Structure formats: C-alpha cells, structure tokens
Structure 1
C-alpha cells in the first residue's frame, strides 16, 4: 500500500530521547509501557500526516486499543497531558487546535520531504518558518535585544551580526546587568568584568557568538551574576554548536526557572558527553 502524501516510511530518532524530561517523567509514572506509547505516538504522527496528529477522546480510544492491553485510555491521556505540559508537544497548538505537533517534529518532516512537490503555504499547524516565509538573510537574527532570533533551520549561535555597533549602543542604555562585549585590550570587555573572566578566544566570531548568547540571557531576564558566570562557562562562552543553543531554541520558558534550568541542562549534557 502506498504511503500517504504527508506521511513518511521512517524518521530519525535522537539518541537522548529517553533522557528528555517529558519522557523520563512518563516512564517514572507509567513504566516502560509509557515510553512505548510515546514511540508509537511519534510513529503514528510521522506515518499518517507527517508532522501532526489530531487528538481527542475518539482518537485516544482508537490509539489505546491499538497500543495493547497494558495501557488504558485514562493512562494514555495522562501520557499526552505530560508531553504537552513539558512542551514535548506544543502546548498552544494542543490547547487551541487539539493537535499534537512540535517544531522539532515539523523540522524532521520538512527535511525528509523537501524533494516533494508541495505548496507549503497551505499546510496547517506549521510552527516553523518555511523557505517561502523567510526574510532576506540580512534582516534575520540581527543583534538587537528584541530581535535575536533564528532561521527555521539554524540555532541562535549563527545570528547575523551586521548591526553590532547600533546594538551595543542600545544595550548600554537598556541594561547594566550584562557585561559589555568588547574584546580584552579594548575599552570595556572582560577587563571591566573580572568576576566573569571572559577569555579572549570567546570573541572569535568564527567559533563563538558571545554577543547573541548574552542577548538571549538578557531577553530571558537572567541577571544574576553567578548564574550568568556558570552559563558562560558551561557553554564555553557561546561556542557555536554548544548545547546551549538547542536549549534556547526548544524550551517553553514559561514552565521553568530560567537560569537554573539552563545551568542544570548544560551540566547534564556536559556529563553525558564527557566534554
């Protein structure tokens, strides 16, 4: 039987999926049948519509029936509730549309089906920016406090830096909580913030984006100097490719203690990778 237009025959799976907070909580409450249900849910999403699944009482009944005798409808709905609450699925889309999806699920689908002929503007429930929606690169992710954002396919560490001078001027007026980002040896910089002790290599824009890191912290109102110092050190001062950019990209900040959460996740990632 031919696969439906929106579906996929297979999809990539992160090796740390079962270490995500939402999945760990599901396993803690429901055991291995809970993690199995999560996997079956992801398979159903990618198999049928590709990147989303309508979820209601009827769908819960049908899904539970196929999931096996070890799990009942109440438990299945409890699993979905945890996944939504912990932002494994997008909470707003579920609340307003009754749909299970996420930016990560959508990126996987868009990448896997990019060679298909399709009109992306007609696709429902999209949370990510498509090629048709993207602005010119010069206008994307400029170094401003209110606009340190990202393309749909990249993380904030690759933010475009063409307007640095204007941003530094506005930052000086807006906040004194975060350090000036001038390399050592010039006015300001780490020499003016000995407690942060920012090394010179962090100002190399080929390997780091220290400024965008600090703007993200400022945007999240993380002003505690000790928290900033720990985040800087754990992220290797905004090194490109560091796990901190995934945290900024995929976290529902209304649900967590921001500074402490970033520190705990970075520390756990550092332990797991041994780096």
Structure 2
C-alpha cells in the first residue's frame, strides 16, 4: 500500500535572530510573551498543514482557549500581525487565509529534498512570484495565468497580466466613486487603523464605507479631511468634519431664491468707525 502523500511539515526552521526582528520586538513590547507564543502557535498550525491555514469564525475561540489568552487580546494580536505584514492581510480579508511570502519561502526550503522526487503542487494562495518559486513547486495559478496570457497577446507575463487586471478593476471602481490617489491612500490608512481597533473587515463593509464617504461630501478636500479625522480619532464610521458647514449649506439651500449680495469689507469697516 503506498504511503499517503504528506502536505505539511514535521518541523520548520526558526532563525536564531528571530527575536531581533523589529516587528517581533514591537510585538513583544505591546503584547508580552502572549504575543510571541501566539505568533509561533500560528506558524506551527500553518506548517502542519503546509504553507497556509484557512480559518473560520470559531478560530479565535479555539486559539484563545488553547493558549489561555483573553479572546479580545487574541483578536488584537492577530490584527497586529496582519497590519505588520507578518501575515498577508489582503488574503486574510478575502479568504480568511493565514500565510505570507516569508512563510512560503521557508516552506520551499523545508520540502526541497522530498519535492525533488515528487514535485509539490500549490494553488491560488501561493504568494511568491514565478521567478521566486523553486522548480519543484508546481503552481496551478501560474498555469492558469499563462493560458490567459495566450488569449491576450498584448499583455506581459502571467503575473503582470493578473496584476494589471486587478489594478484596472480597482481603478475603474475608484473612478466611479471619485476616489483620487490621495483620497485612496488616506482611505487605506483609515481601514488599517479601524481593523486594528475593531477587527478585520469583509469587502462588503469596506465598500459600504466608501459609499458612505461619497454621500457625506462632494468635495475632494473635505472627503480627505473626513477620512483623516476619522483615522486620527480611531472612529468606526465617517462623520462630517464640522456642523457649521452643514448649517451653512442648509442656509444657502433655504435662501437659494435670493441673489446673494456682495459686501466691501473695507467700506463696512469705515462706516462702522465713522471714517
């Protein structure tokens, strides 16, 4: 009977200067030993499965019970790891998958000997580019992209094709909503801070926030100010920057049948002073 195919690892390498990494230093400073243990626990779970771990809504309950860590603290540590790119935040937001390019590089090294005889097949959660992927790693994602490339002769290599399609899609959405590069940058910073404070967001929630922001103002400068103020205040939603602006607009709307008079301020000041 053939031996069952093994996907995960029995052990994984941990650099001797692991604790010297600035990100790990900050993790320890903010969350103490619980933060370090939490991160290593996740690495063990990931490498046990292979190069990624897909979680569900019960995951935080399980890990907090296993490590005897408060659930709120577990959520905070996970958000920190995502915000510092110790795990890929985009993949977690879209598919609840925990992995990173660094994790996958170490996975390649660990499976090198056994994969030479039996190449390992990986799929769409593979983050490394084709040039960084070892020959014994067969990525179906690359193959799919190559097929797309053949059908679109004007595109570059498979990775560039996928990247350009994603950028084009995001750009079209932003153009429809009126998001400039400066506003988009401020918005992404807000999402990062909000996720750190209140937990990860699903794409539908992020889209709803974009639409709320558009409704609050039709001016680019005011939208940016609203986002920056919400970021600085750690708010869960967007609000108008001032009530006076809203009051002023209401007054103008109520009196839009009258022509607004223009005043010479120097002339008024002279009359008041009796000059």
Pairwise same-fold verdict (TM > 0.5): no
TM-score by length of 2: 0.43
Computing the radius of gyration from Cα coordinates, the structure with the larger value is 2
The structure carrying a bigger helix percent of its residues is: 2
